[in-house]
């Protein structure tokens, strides 16, 4: 059995402490982006409902279809931008963690 010095134990303890903090920071960041995604989907969901309600009595489906497609494209675009932002921030955070 090998013996471990107090310094080695302290270093290991500090390493674990930093690791846990880094993991928590990443989880918090992911939760923040999950919340942003949910808010975005909720916002567009409300807009879809309002548009359907507004166009329920109308006969012309072309205009409402165009508006629906436009809303869908906006949602996709905003979600894509959010995912890119999330990816970039997580990558940056991981690189930062590696230097600690």
Q: How far apart are CA 23 and CA 6, in angstroms?
A: 26
Low-confidence ranges of the chain (pLDDT < 50): none
Sign of the CA dihedral with 81 first, then 83, 86, and 92 last? negative
Q: In 1-100, which ranges are continuous DSSP H helix?
A: 6-55, 61-99
Contacts of 63 (CB under 8 A, 6+ apart): 55
Domain ranges of the chain: 29-99
Q: How far apart are CA 78 and CA 43, in angstroms?
A: 11
The pLDDT of residue 39 is 97
The pLDDT of residue 34 is 97
């Amino acid at each position: 059995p090998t013996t471990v010095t107090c310094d080695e134990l302290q270093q290991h303890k500090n390493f674990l402490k930093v690791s846990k903090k880094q993991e928590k920071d990443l989880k918090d960041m992911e939760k923040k982006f999950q919340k942003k995604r949910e808010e975005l989907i909720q916002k567009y969901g409300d807009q879809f409902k309002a548009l359907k309600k507004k166009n329920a009595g109308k006969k012309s489906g072309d205009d409402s279809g165009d508006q629906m497609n436009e809303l869908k494209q906006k949602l996709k675009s905003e979600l894509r931008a959010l995912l890119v932002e999330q990816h970039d921030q997580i990558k940056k955070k991981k690189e930062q963690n590696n230097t600690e």
